[in-house]
Amino acid sequence: MDITIRAHNFKVGENLEEFAVKKLERLDRYLPRISDLLLELERQQTHRGEPITTAQITLRHSRGAILRAEERVKGTDHSAIEAAINASIDKMYRQISRFKGKRLDRRRRSGRYLATPEELEIAEELPENDEFDMTYEEAEAESELEIVRRKQVALTPMSEQDAIHQMELLGHDFFMFFNEATGGVNVLYKRSNGAYGVLVPDTPSN
């Protein structure tokens, strides 16, 4: 399992790196066959002038599933960064519980987004916390989710700035458009901090 730590707007010291790695290494106990983990840390100034620290964990499983957890904590000092890491790991426990809990769907025995019986057998139980546990009813509800609507979208070539304006006019949190700069279909979305992001497809090579 490869662990990568990236920091935006500051440098990760040796003590903080050791703290983060020690915490992240434990995840492999509860979800075997993790291929890599990425921890991204960022210090931000909000519109109110109150600084916050964001910690986001991206977990990639060897069979292709991706789990992600993000938490924001007030403050930017060392203790705030550690608190953000701990909070994001707690949320990742919930994601792992969801991934493992889907085994309760008896109609689907395999797939990259489901834990296999072999993985469940060697995995340790998650730390005892009611927030992490997925009940049978929750797993059943998730397994019964279905697509209830399909909509064709007319794509007009436009710039990213035009896409932002169009999305705001529609009042949406995301917007699919044909990016005239990249020559492909992109998805614009609004991040939790009010900034914008763009999803660009990365077609796997054969």
Confidence of residue 96 (pLDDT cuts 50, 70, 90): confident
Q: b/e per residue, 117-134, with b = 16+ CB within 10 A?
A: eebeeebeebeeeeebeb
The pLDDT of residue 55 is 94
Q: Which helix (H) or strand (E) segment is 19 a member of?
A: helix 14-25
Domain range for 68 is: 2-143
Lowest mean pLDDT among 52-56, 72-76, 140-144, 148-152: 140-144
Is the pLDDT confidence value at 102 over 70?
A: no
164 and 136 both lie in a single domain: no
Is the pLDDT confidence value at 87 over 90?
A: yes
Higher pLDDT, 168 or 193: 168
59 and 21 both lie in a single domain: yes
7 and 38 both lie in a single domain: yes
The CATH number assigned to the domain holding 161 equals 3.30.505.50
Taking residues 45-73, what's their average pLDDT? 86
87 and 175 both lie in a single domain: no
Taking residues 54-83, what's their average pLDDT? 90
Lowest mean pLDDT among 43-47, 58-62, 95-99, 131-135: 131-135
169 and 74 both lie in a single domain: no
Tell me whether residue 205 is in a domain: no
Is the pLDDT confidence value at 104 over 50?
A: no
128 and 168 both lie in a single domain: no
Tell me whether residue 48 is in a domain: yes
> Which of 164, 148, 157 minimizes the C-alpha distance to 180?
157
166 and 126 both lie in a single domain: no
Q: b/e per residue, 33-49, with b = 16+ CB within 10 A?
A: ebeebbbbbbbeeeeee
101 and 185 both lie in a single domain: no
The pLDDT of residue 94 is 85
62 and 106 both lie in a single domain: yes
Tell me whether residue 93 is in a domain: yes
Tell me whether residue 178 is in a domain: yes
Lowest mean pLDDT among 55-64, 87-96, 137-146, 164-173: 137-146
- Please identify, among 120, 143, 166, the residue that sits at the C-terminal boundary of a domain: 143
Tell me whether residue 24 is in a domain: yes
Beta strands 157-158 and 66-74: pairing type?
Answer: unpaired
Q: 15: which DSSP letter?
A: H
Tell me whether residue 194 is in a domain: yes
Please identify which residue in the block is written with the tokens 């904590």.
73
Tell me whether residue 148 is in a domain: no
**Which three-class secondary structure state does DSSP give residue 137?**
helix
Tell me whether residue 83 is in a domain: yes
The pLDDT of residue 9 is 83
The pLDDT of residue 130 is 47
138 and 170 both lie in a single domain: no
Structural domains counted in the chain: 2
Largest CA distance in the chain: 52
Q: Are residues 128 and 92 in contact, defined by beta-carbon separation less than 8 angstroms? A: no
Residues 108-157 have pLDDT tens digits of 444 555 666 677 667 777 776 545 454 444 555 555 557 778 888 888 89
> Which of 111, 147, 121 minimizes the C-alpha distance to 32?
121
**Mean of all residue pLDDT scores within the chain:** 81
75 and 8 both lie in a single domain: yes
130 and 36 both lie in a single domain: yes
The CATH number assigned to the domain holding 84 equals 3.30.160.100
> Which of 12, 159, 115 minimizes the C-alpha distance to 4?
12
Side-chain half-sphere CA neighbours of 92 within 13 A: 30
